Structure 1
Amino acid sequence: MARMSWQEACQLDDSLASLDSLFSLAPDYARTLTGGLTNRCWKIVLRDGSAYVWRPTTHITQAFSISRIQEYQILTTIEPSRIGPKPIYINGHGLLVEWIEGESLTKGLSFESLLKSLVRVHSFPTARIPIAPFNYTARVDHYWIRLESRYKSEAYQAIYHKWRQAPSLVPVDLTLCHFDLAGYNMVDTPLGHRIIDWEYASIADPRLDLALCIDIAEESPYEAVARYCQLRNLIEVDDWIAGVQAWQPRATMMALLWYLLAHQLWGDEQYLSQAQQLLEGL
């Protein structure tokens, strides 16, 4: 993380200047945060030692259909649980949230602990969260439309058209979903494991969120789904396994389009390589 004075940070990212009226004194310093793939965020430290994270709204967030307002509404609703960061302030330039102090769980997090956190997310009442449900087809269509023609090879077109519709499944209740739950988005704190980076979170089919979680962790879907159902006291295990399996190729295709769009925006060859690997897996 690159540390710099507040004035230097504001010159580098003018969205930070929109926070000046929020602080009685200029912050002590700011750091760019590494690890987030979607957008450059900032850690802001005040003179009294309190710290925050600034999550700006940019052309990058717009390209990935990320709404800071939706993120703020979700974090506000779940704030009493302390599972996520407390939202502090939102404006047209971005979202300010608390900095969660603790140890990153990028390494050493057991899949059991990950599943328990996922179940906790899926257990929040959705009626109090004022957002529209996630639309899978609309999201992958958004990614596809944003892509330049050079990315729309016959192979990518075939995969996109094959998996762009949501599967026909036995219906389940929609839940709050994080859509990027893994150790790199979790922090070990005195209050237990807490979750950060809620920018993709939405109200959706929990089987899609579970499929993404299983794929990131590279776990067996049969054992993972069975344990998830046990943790949630669900008895229709076979239906849940079938649902997760139906969502898995669609989750992979959605991730594939994300990596292609990321390559278009940043030019990092690792993104294109990752997309090609996912294509081979489909």
Structure 2
Amino acid sequence: MNKMQAPLPKALAELFRHWQPDGETGVPEVEAVFSAGHSNRNFLVRQGALRFVVRLPEGDGRRLGIDREVERQVLERAESIGLGAPVLFCDPRRGTLVTSWLESRPLRVEGVAADLMIDRLAAALRKLHAQKLDVPVLNIVDRIRSYARDVQSDDSRNWPRARRWLSGTRQVLEQYRFARWRDVLCHNDLVAQNILDVDGRIHFIDWEYAARGDPYFDLATLAEDNGFERLDRSRLLLAYGEFGDAASERLYRARVLYRLLSVLWYLMRLRGANNEWLPALARQEQALETLLRNGVED
């Protein structure tokens, strides 16, 4: 987070012209901007005694598959089961979402408490995946193809790079395409920075990609982004209620798709002379190459 002392950005000033938090009449002040967000600009705002997070789209949110109305519905359900922050305001047309600020600390899955934390994460996912909510279904392969089409049409320089990875993962893509999986309510972006410890309770943030989908994609994202080793992944599957070779195969395929989707996402951002995303892209490519080389036994 970076401290902000400047006047309100234009988009925030516009927000406060037509919305004010209940019971607060003070002047809103931007305390910080969260620079880690890739699909949103996130501002921590204080107004009177209230602190809240304003989320504004970074570029074309629809192009990245973001629907604020769906995000609102999912967040309200998540808040009702103790996994999300309360929604204070939502304007789908402008792509604006305001939620309460959660005082928290980053989640740590390491050391002697790692097994217990993995069990808690699995329990949180079971709770989320048990929810029934009428929101769109996301097939990760469809999202991968959508991202690939964007790279192909908008960036001829990087298309050969994307095509190489699509070719290298073709077998996994075909296996996943014809696999049967139950669709459940998923977060779909459970990277480490989106998992918080709030007074000893797990909360998830940044729900913009939430949809009904394959629960194994949530498990795979969690495992990959938190650097789970083989024993950690086995523990996660067992705590979630899945085990055996079939479960390990499904998790492996979902891990490959997570890394491939991430590679394509960064390639979409890598246009012209913008080299800002090169280090992150290189890390994703290295992780994907390792997965493909080592296979499910990794």
TM-score, length basis structure 2: 0.79
Alignment of 1:79-228 (within 5 A): 79-91=79-91, 92-93=93-94, 94-105=96-107, 110=114, 112-124=116-128, 128-147=132-151, 148-153=155-160, 155-161=161-167, 162=170, 163-165=172-174, 167=176, 171-190=180-199, 192-221=201-230, 223-228=231-236
Aligned to 1:43: 44
Contact conserved, 1:122 with 1:206, CA < 8 A, in 2? no
1:91-139 deviations in whole A, cap 9, x for unaligned? 1221111110122236868364145224423333666322111121221
Give the SS at the match of 1:167.
helix
Contact conserved, 1:260 with 1:275, CA < 8 A, in 2? no
Aligned to 2:295: none
1:249-275 deviations in whole A, cap 9, x for unaligned? 222211111121232385413234335
Change beyond 3 A, Cα 1:272–1:264: farther
Contact conserved, 2:35 with 2:41, CA < 8 A, in 1? yes
Aligned to 1:261: 268
TM-superposed CA distance for 1:145, in Å, is 1.9
Contact conserved, 1:122 with 1:176, CA < 8 A, in 2? no
Moved more, 74-83 or 114-123: 114-123
> For 2:136 and 2:238, how far apart are their aligned partners in 1?
29
Aligned to 1:239: 246
Change beyond 3 A, Cα 1:124–1:146: same
> For 2:209 and 2:175, how far apart are their aligned partners in 1?
18
Moved more, 14-23 or 241-250: 14-23
Gaps of 5+ in 1: none
Give the length in aligned residue pairs.
274
Change beyond 3 A, Cα 1:280–1:128: closer
TM-superposed CA distance for 1:29, in Å, is 0.6
Change beyond 3 A, Cα 1:127–1:213: closer
Give the SS at the match of 1:40.
strand
> For 1:3 and 1:190, how far apart are their aligned partners in 2?
27
Alignment of 1:2-81 (within 5 A): 2-4=3-5, 8-11=7-10, 14-23=11-20, 25-30=25-30, 31-48=32-49, 50-81=50-81
Contact conserved, 2:68 with 2:97, CA < 8 A, in 1? yes
Give the SS at the match of 2:55.
strand
Change beyond 3 A, Cα 1:158–1:10: closer
**Could you tell me the percent identity over the aligned residues?**
18
TM-superposed CA distance for 1:165, in Å, is 4.3
> For 1:127 and 1:195, how far apart are their aligned partners in 2?
15
Partner of residue 252 from structure 1, selected from 249, 259, 276: 259
Change beyond 3 A, Cα 1:129–1:219: same
TM-superposed CA distance for 1:41, in Å, is 0.8
TM-superposed CA distance for 1:69, in Å, is 1.7
Change beyond 3 A, Cα 1:276–1:246: closer
TM-superposed CA distance for 1:54, in Å, is 0.8
TM-score, length basis structure 1: 0.84
Gaps of 5+ in 2: 293-298
Give the SS at the match of 1:72.
helix
> For 2:38 and 2:246, how far apart are their aligned partners in 1?
33
